[in-house]
């Protein structure tokens, strides 16, 4: 039996991860509309990863015999104009998600819920990687985005990202 507050936050995180998938799909669509299919691919894979994150929270609750409550997923709320906009929004979003994971961790820590803390350890590490990747995307675009040839090569590089299932198995 997990603590009520921890259970509530774990349930809410399912929605946040699915919203993340929605947001990244919106970014993928933006780039595909702008003929940058490589960027589109990168964010499509990112959206797949976010759905996996949501499913890990679902599975964790189920493994602990707790009910899963699904709420409505909000419409993506960011407006993109310049090509760099989704990259910056992606970084901001990952920083926000890191904060959410830390909040659940704090709640678990407060009630000595070591099982949930161990589950969340994977997400703490994952968020570090997510922020590193998002920062690199912004930096690369700042360096090369204004030059058409470099943008072409960057787009090609991002086209090579392939989906792989999460390393955490529950």
Distances (CA, A) of 102 to 18, 27, 32, 134: 18, 25, 33, 19
Name the residue whose CB lies closest to ligand FEO.
53
Whole-angstrom distance, CA of residue 56 vs CA of residue 62: 10
CB of 29 to ligand FEO, least distance (A): 18
Q: How many CA atoms lie within 13 A of 165 on its CB side?
A: 5
Q: Are 91 and 23 in contact (CB under 8 A)?
A: no
- Is the dihedral angle over the CA atoms 13, 18, 19, 20 positive or is it negative? positive
Output 101 or 151, the one with its CB closest to ligand FEO.
Answer: 101
Q: Are 30 and 103 in contact (CB under 8 A)?
A: no
Output 26 or 94, the one with its CB closest to ligand FEO.
Answer: 94
CB of 91 to ligand FEO, least distance (A): 11
CB of 23 to ligand FEO, least distance (A): 9
Output 156 or 166, the one with its CB closest to ligand FEO.
Answer: 166
Q: Is 77 exposed, middle or buried (0-12, 13-18, 19+ CB in 10 A)?
A: exposed
Output 48 or 64, the one with its CB closest to ligand FEO.
Answer: 48
97 binds ligand FEO (CB under 6 A): yes
17 binds ligand FEO (CB under 6 A): yes
26 binds ligand FEO (CB under 6 A): no
Output 26 or 130, the one with its CB closest to ligand FEO.
Answer: 130
Whole-angstrom distance, CA of residue 46 vs CA of residue 161: 9
Compute how many residues bind ligand FEO; rule: CB under 6 A. 7
Query: Footprint of ligand FEO on this chain (CB under 6 A)?
Result: 17, 20, 50, 53, 94, 97, 130
């Amino acid at each position: 039996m997990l603590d009520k507050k921890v259970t509530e936050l774990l349930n809410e995180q399912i929605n946040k991860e699915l919203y993340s998938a929605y947001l990244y799909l919106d970014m993928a669509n933006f780039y595909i509309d702008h003929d940058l299919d490589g960027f589109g691919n990168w964010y499509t894979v990112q959206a797949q990863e976010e759905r996996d994150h949501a499913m890990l929270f679902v599975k964790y609750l189920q493994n602990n015999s707790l009910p899963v409550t699904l709420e409505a997923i909000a419409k993506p709320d960011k407006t993109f104009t310049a090509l760099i906009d989704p990259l910056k929004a992606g970084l901001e979003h990952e920083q926000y998600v890191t904060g959410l994971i830390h909040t659940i961790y704090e709640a678990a820590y407060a009630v000595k819920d070591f099982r949930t803390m161990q589950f969340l350890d994977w997400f703490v590490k994952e968020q570090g990687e997510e922020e590193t990747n998002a920062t690199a995307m912004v930096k690369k675009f700042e360096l090369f985005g204004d030059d058409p040839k470099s943008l072409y090569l960057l787009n090609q590089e991002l086209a090579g990202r392939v989906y792989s299932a999460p390393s955490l198995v529950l």
